[in-house]
Amino acid sequence: MRHVIALDVGGTGMKAALAGPGGELLHQARRATGRERGPDAVVAGILDFAAELRAYGADRFGEPARAAGVAVPGIVDAEQGVAVYAANLGWRDVPLRMLLGERLGGIPVALGHDVRTGGLAEGRIGAGQGADRFLFVPLGTGIAGAIGIDGRVEAGAHGFAGEIGHVVVRPGGIPCPCGQRGCLERFASASAVSQAWAQASGDPAADAADCAKAVESGDARALAVWRDAVDALADGLVTALTLLDPRVLIIGGGLAEAGETLFTPLRDAVRRRVTFQKLPEIVPAALGDTAGCLGAGLMAWDLLDTPAATATAATAPPASPAATAATPPEVTT
């Protein structure tokens, strides 16, 4: 069966899959990045994981993967196939596309930014399916964004398109590691809400999920924290929709798990702020933590649509007998 390799590399763990022609995940596995052993060990772990997936796919489906897609955090030069920088993983200027291509027998490899890759999946087969213009905004440790246009995601001239988390919504406010003050992610990310609620509640272990539960129970302190976050988020989103005019606005990440506790006040807050702008549909992300793998798989299949990549895939050597063990890749948490 025709399939591709999909890898989603996070700060602490890797999710991987073999994806079929329709984007379906035929096999899934997880593994720790091993970042405590240093950046070289992380890269070696990615290469080993991909090779094991290729061997498993060749054994299970009778042929090796046709292509591979990998999503990584940080700064990514997708055109050159280089993972430029990732603070959580400690690497700089890693030619990951070349390294994976060599390890996987010369098949074409796509490299993408993790948020844009997840946004690609949400736009094509998730919450934004059928929309010609969408904006995907995951609210996690920070806030990033993916700008979707006609089935693709815009990277920008220098690979920084969609960095909505660093739009200043509170001038002169909380310092941000980026060097500015008052950035959106300092007020409306899941980590920002966790920090604000821990301080307001007096419980250093409290997080954003606890704050959402307290909001649902009517706790006045939680309501104040939540209102501040929603107001900041609405300010940032209205700036984005004024510039981009998306048809659908997709909100994902940990904070979105609060469901209507987030979406009802957020829709109201955005609605109050728009004037001439067209109000987009505001919806929760649909794919959860599989979005990165699904998007990586889509990137890999996209490579096979080009004549050069198809020729490369057709002439790639088969997996060697030593690499076709039937044991699936190790699954760890």
What pLDDT sits at residue 328? Answer: 52
Cα–Cα nearest to 298, from 8, 30, 77 = 8
What pLDDT sits at residue 333? Answer: 33
What pLDDT sits at residue 90? Answer: 87
Higher pLDDT, 99 or 310: 99
- The answer on pLDDT for 119 being more than 50 is yes
User: pLDDT, tens digit, for every residue of 250-305?
Assistant: 999 999 999 999 999 999 999 999 999 999 999 999 999 899 999 999 999 999 87
Q: What is the mean pLDDT of residues 62-82?
A: 92
Q: What is the mean pLDDT of residues 100-112?
A: 95
Write the DSSP assignment of 69-126 as a string of letters.
Answer: EEEESSEEETTTTEEEEETTTTEEEE-HHHHHHHHTTT--EEEEEHHHHHHHHHHHHS
- The answer on pLDDT for 310 being more than 60 is no
Other CB atoms closer than 10 Å to residue 278's CB: what's the count?
Answer: 9
Beta bridge partners of 76: 83
Dihedrals phi, psi of 318, to nearest 5 degrees: -70, 160
Alpha helices in the chain (DSSP H): 39-61, 96-103, 114-125, 185-188, 190-201, 208-216, 220-244, 260-273, 291-303, 307-315
Give residue 181's identity as a one-letter amino acid code: R
Confidence band, pLDDT 50/70/90 cuts, at residue 159: confident
Dihedrals phi, psi of 26, to nearest 5 degrees: -85, -25
Q: What is the mean pLDDT of residues 231-253?
A: 97
What pLDDT sits at residue 322? Answer: 32
CB 259 within 8 A of CB 250: no
The overall average pLDDT reported for the chain is 89
What pLDDT sits at residue 233? Answer: 98
Q: What is the mean pLDDT of residues 51-58?
A: 95
What pLDDT sits at residue 138? Answer: 95
pLDDT over 90, % of the chain:
79
Other CB atoms closer than 10 Å to residue 230's CB: what's the count?
Answer: 24
Q: What is the mean pLDDT of residues 122-141?
A: 94
- The answer on pLDDT for 128 being more than 90 is yes
Give whole-number Cα distances, 311 to 33, 106, 108, 300, in Å: 33, 11, 10, 14
What pLDDT sits at residue 295? Answer: 95
Confidence band, pLDDT 50/70/90 cuts, at residue 321: very low
Burial class from Cβ neighbours inside 10 Å (0-12, 13-18, 19+) for residue 97 reads buried
Q: How many whole angstroms separate alpha carbon 219 and alpha carbon 241?
A: 32
Q: What is the mean pLDDT of residues 9-15?
A: 87
What pLDDT sits at residue 318? Answer: 40
Higher pLDDT, 74 or 187: 187
What pLDDT sits at residue 326? Answer: 39
For residue 258, what is the DSSP state?
A: G
First to last CA, the chain: 28
Mapping DSSP onto H, E and C, the string for 164-186 reads: HHHCECCCCCCECCCCCECECHH
Q: What is the mean pLDDT of residues 302-309?
A: 68
What pLDDT sits at residue 323? Answer: 35
- The answer on pLDDT for 92 being more than 60 is yes
